[in-house]
Amino acid sequence: MRGSDLLIKTLSRLGTKQIFCLSGNQIMAIFDSSIESDINLIHFRHEAATVHAADTWGRLTNEPGIAMVTAGPGFANTLSALYVAMSAESPLVLISGHSQLSQQGKGAFQEMPQANMAKPVTKSSWTCTNTKNIGYDIERAYQIAITGRPGPVHISIPVDILEAKLVPGSPREYKKDAYIDSSLTKSDTQILLEALKSAHRPLALLGQGISRLAKNRISSGLLPCNIPMVNMESPRGVNDPSLGAFPEVLRESDLVLLLGKKLDFGLKFGDDSVLSTKANIIHVDHEISVLDQAKKSVRPDRLIISAQADPLSIIDILNSNNIGVNKKWINEVQSALNYTPKEWTILENSTKSPMHPLAVCKPVRDIFQNEQNAVFISDGGEFGQWTQATISTPNRIINGPSGAIGSSIPSAIAASIARPDATIIAMLGDGTFGFHGMEFDTAVRYNLKFVAIIGNDAKWNAEHQIQLRDYGVDRTIGCDLNDSRYDLLVKALGGHGENVTITSEFAPALERAINSNHPSCINVSIDPVKAPEIKRE
């Protein structure tokens, strides 16, 4: 048995059904080994797309998506996508090929310090140096990805290690590491309960990983004991337009529970413009580094609890105690989160051409309204901010705190595999489409079904808006794009394409795309407006 055979055997035992991959010299032994297995190779057109797909798989299933790429430049192409997954707290395992171990330090073909390059954007990254360790390393990476705060893990495996035959004797077996992630101490538990009893306006802010893991244990935006909770996943942080007038109630809260949530730029580091100076903070996180980071930003006396523990354990504590939260405060929080400006109703019903982004969002929202299994995917940029502000489903994938763009088409591919019977709609800008538009070729090859709606304003509009704001209309440069027909490109690749220039055309085009049973693209001419900013009247 070769090292590559052991790798595939291990992945099969872990329940892996597909590997999101792109071929290359140093991993062809793994391709060969997969032929005798039940694992499907979903091969893409760009290495970053494989990681975006694995990232989405992890977010939808809470199980690590498996990505695989070749060595050197192929591996290097994944680094930005790993950063996206790390920021989104998404479990995945990236396997990269590597130049021959026997030639290291001699100028081997595509030799790079891959493990070190990936360390800043992964939970852990290392190089496998012995064929008998391949199974051990794969299982260890899988467990690290889902233990504590979820995240990406990278293993680099030299080609000669993959191709070598196992020597007599058993491969190294993995024994699950003892992971100690305790609940709160009795003292901290008592402080928590007393603080909640005396608080008038408690508010819980959940990190993305915890929000997904707790999904089946919470409902209607409330933790046990009816404590209002908010999942913060946007790069705009407290100014995320999908959270309505959230900054108003956040400033009014007298007790803020950070459960797996970093006190970072998204919360403006907890400064007085975001949190009340009188608000106490309870911070529970898997990682001591995250707790230490918060201590650098706020006064020590405000952090009444700063504990390294499993944030999910707080839900268990709350389930076991009866603490009533003022109904008026619950209503205030829900009202703020649900708030949308009055003029949005006018804009979403507008018939002007080119279309306002809200007029594009309304038919999509109407389709999702009664579909619990639907998947909504939104990329970044100004168009993405409008879509995120007004469309939501139980299964929602957005670009996340990284602020990066480009992941939506690979995400739609992974979502189509994870949820084959669901309605899947991805919304992205025309600039964004250029990152991974060729992945429609991948979607056609695997006969996957989703709809990508491209808001086409012929601009890098986010940056264009910065130029207008900071430099003036006479100093705009380098942000114009052609008014291209992206639908025709998708048609040429074998997908379904629609072009929309007026409002009345959009809903029928969307219905045709959903019913086409093909990967579909709707190219929509939109007004290049700036992203939404919400201030309650």
pLDDT digits (tens, 9 = 90+) for 97-153: 999 988 888 888 988 999 999 999 999 999 999 999 999 999 999 999 999 999 999
Give the pLDDT score at 172.
81
Widest Cα–Cα separation across the chain: 75
Point out the residues of the chain with pLDDT beneath 50: none
- Where do the H-state alpha helices sit in 339-380? 343-348, 357-368
Distance CA 45, CA 390 (A): 32
Distance CA 533, CA 524 (A): 23
Count the alpha carbons within 13 Å of 520 in the hemisphere toward its beta carbon.
22
Give the pLDDT score at 180.
58
In 382-406, which positions are buried (b, 16+ CB within 10 angstroms) versus exposed (e)? Answer: bbbbbbbbbbebebbbbbbbbebbb
Give the pLDDT score at 181.
60
Residue 87 in tokens: 């920021």
E strand segments, 108-169: 124-127, 152-158
| Residue whose tokens read 């998204």 | 266
Q: Reduce the secondary structure of 188-210 to three states and give it as a string.
A: HHHHHHHHHHHCCCEEEEECHHH
Give the pLDDT score at 179.
58
Give the pLDDT score at 104.
85
Give the pLDDT score at 38.
97
Give me the phi and psi of 257, to 5 degrees please: -100, 115
Distance CA 499, CA 494 (A): 16
Please give the model's pTM, rounded to 2 decimal places. 0.96
Distance CA 56, CA 450 (A): 14
Rg of the chain over Cα atoms, rounded to whole angstroms, equals 24
Bridge-based pairing state of the strands 222-223 and 202-206: unpaired
**Three-class secondary structure of residue 108 per DSSP:** coil
Bridge-based pairing state of the strands 395-398 and 496-500: unpaired
**Three-class secondary structure of residue 27 per DSSP:** helix
C-alpha distances (whole Å) from 537 to each of 108, 332, 333, 336, 534 are 64, 15, 16, 12, 9
Distance CA 412, CA 456 (A): 19
Query: C-alpha 435: how far from its chain's center?
Result: 17
Give the pLDDT score at 323.
84
In the chain, the domains with their CATH numbers are 3-163 (3.40.50.970), 186-338 (3.40.50.1220), 343-525 (3.40.50.970)
Distance CA 348, CA 370 (A): 20
Give the pLDDT score at 371.
85
Distance CA 270, CA 119 (A): 28
